[in-house]
Structure 1
Amino acid sequence: MQETIMKRSGKSGRAGSRGGIEAKLQFIKTNYFLYLLIAPAVILTLLFKYVPMYGVIIAFKDFSYSKGIVGSDWVGFEYFTKFLNSPNFELIFMNTLKLSAYGLLLGFPIPIILALMLNQLRKAGIKKNIQLVLYAPNFISVVVIVGMLFVFLSPTGPINKIITLTTGHPITFMSDPEYFRAIYILSGIWQAAGWSSIIFAAALAGVDPELHNAANLDGANLLQRIWHIDLPTLKPVMAILFILSAGGIMAIGHEKAFLMQTALNMPTSEIIATYVYKVGLKAGDYSYSAAIGLFNSVINIIMLVVVNAVVKKLNEGDGLY
């Protein structure tokens, strides 16, 4: 009797799976144009994101131009061990972590505050002009931004002229390691905060005005309306963006840090990205630089998983997955 029931359940399970497959195929056949629409994006993603992953194996090989990627000799985790045991590892790793963590903690709330402030403006003309001013720095090249920093913060620049009037001597901002992180982070916030606030402003645009009207009738002040209406609306968006930002906490581009580097501020300006650039592109040690880059990516993946789990636990299930 039990065997008969198991056979019947197995047959019904197979029939159900066949029915599910047929339903999916029918859905694809009916909505084929949707799949054609996303096909170019999928193809481009496969070509430029997944296919190049094949080159990661040079991190485990002693890469040679003459032998190629496939023919090069396997060395296993030799280059990972070399990086972890290098005398500069702790300095480079901590510089990268501090620069990313401070930038995230200081820079993440600013776009939210800007969006909340812009949401309170009722005159469309004034709001558009303010948004134009806030968004403009995002379109300035990193090279131009760094050039502006060197001009404004030079010993003879306008900032030091004011400091000289009060203290009697200028400050070498761009050469002093103590000021590198503050300059890097604050200039990055100034450049990206306005543009980053667009997502939060778009989320706030979906808030029903009747909620604010009802809160006004109940005697709620501005801060109470923001706390009980606007922030709960932004909560899911904030959670997702924070997870993504934390997941890329070690993924700092080398361009700005490399351009801001001087011989004197190296103790705080040398990060993993600039080290990979120097070792890989300038010194030509591709296997070693690939191993460092892969190590950095693994740290990012671990951070993404951990932060997503923490946010889901604290945020009642809202996360990336």
Structure 2
Amino acid sequence: MKHKYIYLLALPSVIYFLVFKYAPMWGILLAFQDYSPFKGFLASEWVGFKHFETLFTHDMFWVLLRNTLGINLVNLIFFFPLPIVLALMLNEIKIEPVKRVIQSIVYLPHFLSMVIIVGFTYFFLSTDIGLVNKGLTAMGIEPVSFLTNPNYFWGLLTMQSIWKEVGWGTIIFLAAIAGVDQQLYEAAIVDGAGRFRRVWHITLPAIRSTIVILLIMRVGHMMDVGFEQVLLMLNPLVLPVGEVFDTYVYKQGILSGQTSYSIAVGLFKSIVGLVLVMLANRLAKKFGEEGLY
């Protein structure tokens, strides 16, 4: 009762997780049924691991796994370090009004719908109305099929994610940097350390635990790709490198009505994500970090 107001403050979050995260978990059982909306949840036939066997023996399984992990791996390599770099750069700006203006500019794309981001991509890169190809044509260069060439697809998704989220991703790192003891910087300046050495020997070690925790959480989402983004960017020519588990579940579960099969695919994704988090956490602890638990 002494901390009742603190519990009250946490209550909305608790209710959210109970209603939207824990309550729907009963639906996992449908992955082991041939669910029929006419028979209902209790009367539908139990089929065990039939849907998982279908998934693992399907010709598309390895394609889906390759595309999902490949897109996320490219995103992890090229996107994850950028918010850290940007946060370090923003922290070095000492003129507060300038710093706030730059922060507002880089945060803004986060609030744009992915539909708008994809619309910008088509406006700049399509072969018929794209500004880039119009410029190439004006210089006597053949237009490039950016949107229909499979070799560019993963890169385009990563570039969209970087432009949209890199600014927003700096918030946590800036908060961590703000907690660094300023006396460390003052002592380093007295010892003759330059700006780069202060960043390398003070700032980065101070926020290392934050970086590790966010990296572990990011690894846990290696099986999740932005469904809306991929669906909007897909076309028949890039389908071999663009079809991922999220779009496959949408096509099988929503368009084809295979509810139980799509739930089995989703459950497989969740299990793999859990395993990846546990492995990443154990690896982090072996390197002397605290990890998530």
TM-score normalised to structure 2 length: 0.96
Counterpart for residue 65 of structure 1: 37
1:84-116 residue CA offsets vs partner (Å, 9 max, x unmatched): 111111111100000011101111100000000
Distance in 1 (CA, whole Å) between partners of 2:72 and 2:87 is 23
User: By how many angstroms is 1:33 displaced?
Assistant: 4.1
The alignment status of 1:230 with 2:203, answered yes or no, reads yes
- Name which one, 1 or 2, has greater alpha-carbon Rg: 1
Distance in 1 (CA, whole Å) between partners of 2:268 and 2:292 is 23
User: By how many angstroms is 1:54 displaced?
Assistant: 0.3
User: By how many angstroms is 1:160 displaced?
Assistant: 1.4
For 1:47, the aligned partner's letter is V
The alignment status of 1:120 with 2:78, answered yes or no, reads no
The alignment status of 1:260 with 2:223, answered yes or no, reads no
Identical amino acids, percent of aligned pairs? 41
Q: Does structure 1 conserve the Cα–Cα contact (< 8 Å) formed by 2:212 and 2:289?
A: no
Aligned-residue CA RMSD (Å): 1.3
Q: Using CA pairs below 8 Å that are at least 6 residues apart, which structure has the higher relative contact order?
A: 2
Counterpart for residue 52 of structure 1: 24
SS in 2 for 1:195: coil
Counterpart for residue 172 of structure 2: 199
Where does 1:28-177 land on structure 2 (aligned, <5 Å)?
Answer: 29-156=1-128, 157-166=130-139, 168-177=141-150
User: By how many angstroms is 1:32 displaced?
Assistant: 3.9
Q: Does structure 2 conserve the Cα–Cα contact (< 8 Å) formed by 1:55 and 1:69?
A: no
User: By how many angstroms is 1:37 displaced?
Assistant: 3.8
For 2:100, the aligned partner's letter is K
Distance in 2 (CA, whole Å) between partners of 1:230 and 1:127 is 18
Residues 129 and 218 from structure 1, CA distance in 2 versus in 1: closer, same or farther, beyond 3 angstroms?
A: same
Residues 139 and 34 from structure 1, CA distance in 2 versus in 1: closer, same or farther, beyond 3 angstroms?
A: closer
Counterpart for residue 19 of structure 1: none
Q: Does structure 2 conserve the Cα–Cα contact (< 8 Å) formed by 1:250 and 1:296?
A: yes
SS in 1 for 2:167: helix
Q: Does structure 2 conserve the Cα–Cα contact (< 8 Å) formed by 1:240 and 1:320?
A: yes
User: By how many angstroms is 1:287 displaced?
Assistant: 0.6
Counterpart for residue 191 of structure 2: 218
Residues 257 and 214 from structure 1, CA distance in 2 versus in 1: closer, same or farther, beyond 3 angstroms?
A: same
Where does 1:20-31 land on structure 2 (aligned, <5 Å)?
Answer: 29-31=1-3
Where does 1:177-188 land on structure 2 (aligned, <5 Å)?
Answer: 177-188=150-161
User: By how many angstroms is 1:187 displaced?
Assistant: 1.1
TM-score normalised to structure 1 length: 0.88
User: By how many angstroms is 1:41 displaced?
Assistant: 2.8
Distance in 2 (CA, whole Å) between partners of 1:99 and 1:137 is 21
Counterpart for residue 3 of structure 1: none
- Greater share of helix: 1
1:149-206 residue CA offsets vs partner (Å, 9 max, x unmatched): 1110011411112333456200111111111000001110111010000110111112
SS in 2 for 1:194: coil
> Which runs of no fewer than 5 residues in structure 2 stay unpaired?
none
